[in-house]
Each structure stands twice: as C-alpha cells, then as structure tokens.
Amino acid sequence: MSTASTAGSPTTAAPISAAGSSLAAARKFKAFATTFSISGPVVYCLTVYMNWPVFTFWPANDHFDWGMVTKGQGPNMLWYGWTLTAILISAGLGIIAMLLPERVIRKIPLALVWIFPILAIPFVVYSLMFWWRLAFKQ
C-alpha cells in the first residue's frame, strides 16, 4: 500500500492513507466490493427466510452435515451455514459484476450499501418472532 496525500480530505483535515493502493484503485474491485456489499444483506435475509444453510453444525458432538439437517444429536446451529451461503452467493454476484461494463456498474446507486442493511433489520426482528412470542407470553 502506498502512502496517500493529505490534500482534499472530504471529511477531516487529517491525512488519508493508502488511496493509491492498487487494489483499492482497481475498477473491477469497485464492482466486486459494491455488488458484494449491496447484495449481501439481501441474500442473507433471503437465505434465512428460505433456510438455505450450506451446512448444519451440531455443537454437542462437533459434527457437520451438508445442507439443512434437523435430526441429530443435541441442538443444531444454522447461522454458520446461512452466513457462508450469503458470502458465497454475494461473492458470485460480485464476480459477475466484475465482468460487466463500467457504464452498467456506474448506474448502481452506492447508497444501497447502507440502505439495505437498515431495511434488513425489521426482517431480522420478524424472523426472531418465536423468541418475542415466548417472551411476551410470560
């Protein structure tokens, strides 16, 4: 990573580092990073809703099963599998975006990077309804 200039910081007068990093400057990395982060929250919510874990983990005996498995020893854990599914699909979409022309990538609104995770929160709260129901039954 190279050292960046201190001029023109949009937010602070303090120095900015590594603006000249080759990875950060790469057009294809921009396409990958923005597509990955925009699609990530959407894909994650979809993965949780559809229950698509890449694998199921059984912590009682440290056992893994491919896909969604409900019968095993002790409680199962799906969150690892959901997270990996979301990362793999988002990375796939990011790689596809790298192949698209620049003019298409420039049309993607960058604000979606922070809007989608905010919109995901109500869904996440709703997806945990079984906990809230139990809590309010008491």
Partner 1 sequence: MSGLISSNAFWTIWLFVHLILALGLLGALTHQAMAVALPARKATGGIITRYRAVPAAGYATAVCVLWVLTFLVGSFIYTSYRINIRIPLEQEHYFKTGGFFDFKEHVATLGLVLLPAYWFFWKNAENPEYDNARKGVTLVLAVMCWFLFIVGHVLNNTRGFGS
Per CB under 8 A, residues contacting partner 1 are 4-5, 7-19, 21, 23-25, 29-30, 32-34, 36-38, 40-41, 44, 48, 57, 59-60, 62, 74-75, 77, 79-80, 82-83, 86-87, 90, 94, 110-111, 113-115, 117-118, 120-121, 124-125, 127-128, 131-132, 134-135, 138
By beta-carbon proximity to partner 1, the closer residue of 104 and 121 is 121
18: left (phi over 0), alpha (psi -120 to 50) or beta: left
**CB 70, min distance to partner 1, A:** 15
Q: Which residues are 65's β-sheet partners?
A: 56
**CB 66, min distance to partner 1, A:** 18
CA distance to 89, 110, 111, 132, per residue, from 33 (Å): 13, 11, 13, 35
Give the other-Cβ count within 10 Å of 4's Cβ. Answer: 16
**CB 12, min distance to partner 1, A:** 5
